[in-house]
Structure 1
């Protein structure tokens, strides 16, 4: 149930972006959130998949563009790249996350501690990612409506 729910939210990301006109994915129409673009959200989701499944659960090196000096770099990068490329990278990262999930038990503990306030198991990561992806689908709804008037369901 956890993986099915997360996959449904992952698929919704692509649906929210379907048919978006060229150039609209980089628009950041919210004055209080200048990095919040459709491309930025897709890039962010790609890199949080990488972080939770590869870095936290497997102990892999973090390859994300963020740094201590620029904690929002994935949003910045996402606003500058073609949406089709970002979506393909997101799909590939989700496939990698599925491979990792298939090899672990739900109670498998993370190999890296990360935030001591949030001890992680695969079960926790799946729940966290379902919530995070759902929340960002809401952002995509708003951004899409502002970009071209298309409304989500």
Structure 2
């Protein structure tokens, strides 16, 4: 059986450059997963691949009050996701039954100890974030004007 070391993120961690994975969604209380019914159809280039750097839309929390206490969950009742220029999804924020850890592989690095310095071996994993919430959109998109669009 293969094993790997799992470590918390380092405080001095620097970004590794452009990440090909989509970024997570930031909510007033941390990162969240996005749950949709259906699919998002992305425009494609001539080679059939999705266009790089394409912004799908934006997420708004209309009931969020930055002055409200941290334990106030009223902002979770309603969330809007604007997709493209003409569609808006309305949903809510739900707490996950169990938190989800976002883990990534990291390169082996030098370890310094009483026996001197040596390079780590094997596979090493790092916890990047802990996700406690998800955004749920269960209804069809509503048409909106371009004033609210991306």
TM normalised by structure 1 equals 0.27
Bigger radius of gyration among the two = 2
Q: Which is richer in helix?
A: 1
Q: Which is richer in strand?
A: 2
